[in-house]
Chains A and B, each alone.
Chain A
Amino acid sequence: MTPLIELEEITKNYGSYRALDRVSLQIEPGITSLLGPNGAGKSTLIKVLLGLLRATSGRGRLLEYQLGRHNRQIRERVGYMPEDDCYLSGLSGVESVQFAAQLSRLPGLESLRRAHEILDFCGMGQERYRTVETYSTGMRQKLRFAQALVHDPPLLILDEPTSGLDPAERETMLSRIKILARNHGKAILLCTHILPDVQAVSDAVIILAKSRVRISDRLDRLSQPTAPSLKIHVIDNPEEFAQKLERAGLKARIGALGAITVDGQHAELAVKIWQVANQANIGIRSLEPSRNSLEEIFLSAVREQPDANS
């Protein structure tokens, strides 16, 4: 599958400060999370993608359109949901979405009809007829999401879409994001600090730190530990179980919160573990393949030393 977006050696300088340093990446349909510490260059990257900033050097394209030359066409095909609380004062919810649709070239009546359709998908009911100033944080976020989606763009850039939302609302927002990616083939660039969200929905992860791309890979590949192992939680007495496993010839060690990690290939290992549990009369609460925690991946990526060229 050809990537939807390709950036090659994009650099952006503000005087002597280098905000983006030879950033190259590819984004395919599906959910790509963009992570990085504050000040790493994420918002600069988004502005370059949207054509709001001109890159100092480098090339990029969205579909068949060149960055910097076809900014208008690119913006027609991108839906941007800003992190900041921004709105058009004095308009009601549906009027705001309609206005956004019209700015994206949807014809008059069609834009209103489509605005209603999108607000249905975003779970907004009769409150769409009230002015935006009366909305709560969660509702404003839904509205910004609707505005990003109304013109059916193939690429969505969502900046902290779930921050400030209650857990239930977070889940529904993530569910909508998944539906758009899996069922409608959209590419979604998700910028967030909330690692559990990234874990739950991402196909690919890009980590940006100090203006450079540190990691750009599929999540399932990143999560694979270098050596396969299984992680077990028992009902109680993890130390006893670990000893029994050792005696059965397995390499077991105890980690945080009583989790036992056993090295080895999953399939044969599982059989042995169940046997040991049966013999020792110890109940197993959970058994799953070990995955690298996203937090560890992030911290190690960000703390890498920059190379001599930067």
Chain B
Amino acid sequence: MIELSHVTRLYGTVIGVNDMTLSLPAGAYGLLGPNGSGKSTLLNLLTGQLRPTIGRVRVFGESPRNNAALFRRLGYCPGSEGLYANVSGYEWVRYLSQLQGMSASAATKAAQDSLVIVGMKDAMHRAISSYSRGMRQRVKLAQAIAHDPDFLILDEPFNGLDPIGRHEMGSLLKQWIGQGKSLLLASHLLYEVESITDSFLLISGGRLLASGTAAEVHALLVDVPNEVTIRTNDPRRLASLLLEHEITDSLRIDQNQLIVSTRHPFKLYEQLPGWLAEKRISVEEMHSTDESLQALFNSLLKIHRGELA
């Protein structure tokens, strides 16, 4: 669906995207990275608003630059404003749908349908200036899906939403994915993306660091130590047990918690039930702080900066 081939984009001396090569089949992806990491540049390259300085961008096999036919298959939901204050949500979506190339009557119906889907049935004829933040985000989403595209691109859609707004936007996007459509969601906050999809792309400084699901990436990071916290009634005996079995080379005890650093977390998980039964040690709680996407990304960024061998 998306193909980038050694794409670099420079703004004068400022780097936007740096030698990015990427090939994504249809599906739902989270585009994650810190502020200023090149997410907006990448999205602009995909929607054809920017041209790569070096390299080639292909969406659905074609260059998105000035490609009206391709635009009909793409829906773009921008992050920053860009809404007109005085018109109603309905008028705005209808106008943009007509710009997409729809006839007046088709645009009318499309606007109405999409606004109902995003839950703006009652408010669609009020002026946009009266809308709350969440409602404006929903109008932008309606505009993006009105022409029933195959691929939806969203730039920080949760920005400024309260938890209710976030939850509702999340459900809408999950519905979208449920219909079998594709989606690329750019955000700098992991937990926003985690609930929608588990395939992600991590970028930093305009470079693609990793892509895939958390499990896939984890499996590749063999030598990165994981920290597992175990709450048990007998931490010292458990500690000696783990050392004996050479599952860990460093651990510490904090009251009744044993915090174990291991390079073989899965071996630990598989063997632990047997060892506990053998030595009659009971464990009340166990979890790995590194399981989270956040911790994974921290490790990846450290490796990227040369802080971790």
Task: Specify which chain A residues have a CB less than 8 angstroms from the CB of B291 in the assembled complex.
Answer: 285-286
B55 adjacent to chain A (CB < 8 Å)? no
Residues from chain B with a CB closer than 8 A to the CB of A35 are 163
Known: A35-B163, A37-B164, A278-B277. A266 touches B269 (CB 8 A): no
B137-170 interface mask toward A, CB cutoff 8 Å, 1 = contact, 0 = none?
A: 0000000000000000000000001111111000
Q: A39-B132, A295-B163, A295-B167 are in contact. Are A286 and B272 (CB under 8 A)?
A: no
Q: Knowing A235-B270, A283-B266, A284-B272 touch, does A193 contact B163 (C-beta < 8 A)?
A: yes
Q: Looking at the complex, which of B66-74, B183-191, B242-250 is the stretch in contact with chain A?
A: B183-191
Does A194 contact B189, Cβ atoms closer than 8 Å? Answer: yes
Q: Check A306 for interface membership: any CB of B closer than 8 A.
A: no
Question: A287: nearest residue on chain B (CB-CB)?
Answer: B286
Tell me the bound Cα distance from A278 to B274 in angstroms: 5
Given pairs A166-B188, A167-B189, 19 additional interface contacts (CB within 8 A):
A38-B162, A137-B35, A166-B35, A167-B188, A167-B297, A167-B298, A193-B162, A193-B166, A195-B163, A270-B282, A274-B273, A274-B276, A274-B282, A283-B270, A284-B269, A287-B285, A288-B287, A299-B163, A299-B167
A298 located at the interface, meaning its Cβ lies under 8 Å from any Cβ of chain B in the complex: yes
B234 → A minimal CB distance (Å): 13
Known: A167-B298, A278-B276. A299 touches B164 (CB 8 A): yes
Supply 25 A–B pairs (Cβ within 8 Å), ascending by A.
A36-B162, A37-B163, A38-B134, A38-B162, A138-B35, A167-B297, A168-B34, A193-B166, A235-B270, A270-B284, A274-B282, A275-B273, A282-B273, A283-B270, A283-B271, A284-B269, A286-B287, A287-B283, A287-B284, A287-B285, A288-B285, A298-B164, A299-B163, A299-B167, A302-B164
Q: Closest approach, in angstroms, between the C-beta of B169 and any C-beta of chain A?
A: 12
Residues of B within 8 A of A299 (CB): 163-164, 167
Query: Which residues of chain A are near B270, meaning CB under 8 Å?
Result: 235, 283
Given contacts A166-B34, A274-B276, contact A285 B164 (CB under 8 A): no
Contact of A286 among B132, B164, B286 (CB under 8 A): B286
**List of A residues within 8 angstroms of B189 by Cβ:** 167, 194
Nearest opposing residue in chain B for A40, CB measure: B162
Give the Cβ gap from A102 to chain B, nearest Cβ, in Å: 32
- Chain A residues with CB under 8 Å of B191's CB are 195-196
How many residues of chain A have a CB within 8 Å of chain B?
Answer: 36
**Least distance between B170 CB and chain A CB atoms (Å):** 10
Q: Name the distance in Å between A255's Cβ and chain B's nearest Cβ.
A: 14
Q: Are B272 and A193 in contact (CB-based, < 8 A)? A: no
Closest residue of chain B to A36 (Cβ to Cβ) is B162
Chain A residues with Cβ below 8 Å from B274 are 278
In the assembled complex, the Cα of A35 lies from the Cα of B287 at a distance in Å of: 28
Chain B residues with Cβ below 8 Å from A274 are 273, 276-277, 282-283
Among candidates A267, A283, A288, residue contacting B269 with C-beta atoms closer than 8 Å? A283
Q: How far is the CB of A55 from chain B (nearest CB, A)?
A: 24
Smallest CB-CB separation from B293: which chain A residue? A167
Instruction: Decide if A164 is an interface residue (CB 8 Å cutoff).
Output: yes
Q: Which 9 A-B pairs have the closest CB atoms?
A: A283-B270, A283-B269, A278-B273, A277-B273, A166-B34, A286-B287, A278-B277, A37-B162, A287-B286
Q: Output the nearest chain B residue to A276 by Cβ-Cβ distance.
A: B273
In the bound complex, residues from chain A placing their C-beta under 8 Å from that of B288 are: 285-286
Given A35-B163, A38-B133, A194-B189, A287 contacting B287 (CB threshold 8 A): yes
Closest residue of A by beta carbon distance from B191: A196
Q: Which residues of A contact B277 (CB under 8 A)?
A: 274-275, 278
Please, how many angstroms separate the alpha-carbon atoms of A274 and B283 in the complex? 8
A264-276 contact mask (Cβ, 8 Å, vs B): 1 or 0: 0011001100110
> How many interface residues does B have (CB within 8 Å)?
37
B294 on interface, CB distance cutoff 8 Å: yes
CB-CB under 8 A from B34, the residues of chain A are 166-168
Q: What's the least CB distance linking A250 to chain B, in Å? A: 15
Main secondary structure of the interface of B (DSSP, over half): helix
CA distance A164 to B36 in the complex (A): 11
Q: Is A289 at the interface (CB under 8 A from chain B)?
A: yes
B166 touches A284 (CB 8 A): no
Whether the Cβ atoms of A271 and B286 lie closer than 8 Å is no
Say how far B193's CB is from chain A's closest CB, in angstroms.
12
Chain A contacts for B165, CB-based, 8 A: 37-38
Minimum Cβ distance to chain A for residue B22 (Å): 22
Bound-complex Cα distance A152 to B88 (A):
48
| Complex CA distance for A271 and B276, rounded to whole angstroms | 9
Chain A: CB-nearest residue to B204: A166
Tell me, in angstroms, the Cα distance from A168 to B161 when the chains sit together: 22
Asked if A288 and B286 sit within 8 Å, CB to CB, the answer is yes
Chain A residues with CB under 8 Å of B276's CB are 274, 278
Enumerate chain B residues within 8 angstroms of A275, measured Cβ to Cβ: 273, 277
A283 x B272 contact (CB < 8 A): yes
Listed residue (A36, A38, A164, A168) with the most chain B CB atoms within 10 angstroms of its CB: A38
| CB 8 Å contact bits of A193-209 with B (1 = contact, 0 = none) | 11110000000000000
Question: What is the chain B residue whose CB lies nearest that of A296?
Answer: B167
1/0 contact string of A129-140 vs chain B (CB within 8 Å): 000000001100
CB–CB B282/A271 < 8 A: yes
Q: Which residues of B contact A37 (CB under 8 A)?
A: 162-165
Inter-chain CA distance A137–B159, complex, in Å, is: 15
Q: State the CA gap A128–B288 with chains docked (Å).
A: 38
Given A266-B284, A274-B282, A289-B285, also A168-B163 (CB < 8 A): no
Expressed in whole angstroms, the minimum distance between the Cβ of A242 and any Cβ of chain B is 16
Q: Which residues of B contact A288 (CB under 8 A)?
A: 285-287
